[in-house]
Structure 1
């Protein structure tokens, strides 16, 4: 019965019919969403493929620092916190391709802490320690605990 139809023509016809069906369903039920995305009123959002708890912690710490910045832009301590976080993140960004030795990193952190003496007794210090510890854990080269980072702060006194 179907001996005159080749596999290539069968697959082509099936693919065209499937594409047509999915286009029909897409436009029929998602026309408003598609129109909003094309016009730029809405951005295309993708779901995360896996949940990484370290990324969630860093995001929550970043959001808390950002909310602190938004609540009080005139506070010089918050500006210093932002500078310190930027410098710590730049260390990891610069060493992303090569392993970063723990001793070198702790020495650099100590030097950074000396540059920010007003943060030594700041109430935001535990949050900074947590951010640095999670960044170290995220990089995977070595781990620094919050108590070790706290000890580095105490060395600068």
Structure 2
């Protein structure tokens, strides 16, 4: 038994010297490798979270810019609509004023033509009156003829 105990102790010393040290070194390397991988994974996760937050912020900013562009386009449309309406009103007023001026001119021409006709008819009646002395009945007849001629001329 003492020999076996001696062989066991020698075996433990040999195992410790040749097997235990390299196994422990290998276990330490494995532990360092796993710790490094965990640390790298944590670092990658933190970077992914940071990138995700940046993407969300950039998306939010892009949405705000798009909303601003939409509002600007709406405002420009409203301004353009108001400009078109104002231009149309001004053009309508100009056309209306031109039409009124043309109506006035035509009215003046008609009045002038009527005055010319009345004057010529008055001269005609005066010449007929001068040619002969007329009685009240002849005077009524001439007035009625004059009114009839004026009515036909108009």
Give the TM-score, by structure 2 length: 0.23
More helix per residue: 2
Structure index of larger Rg: 2
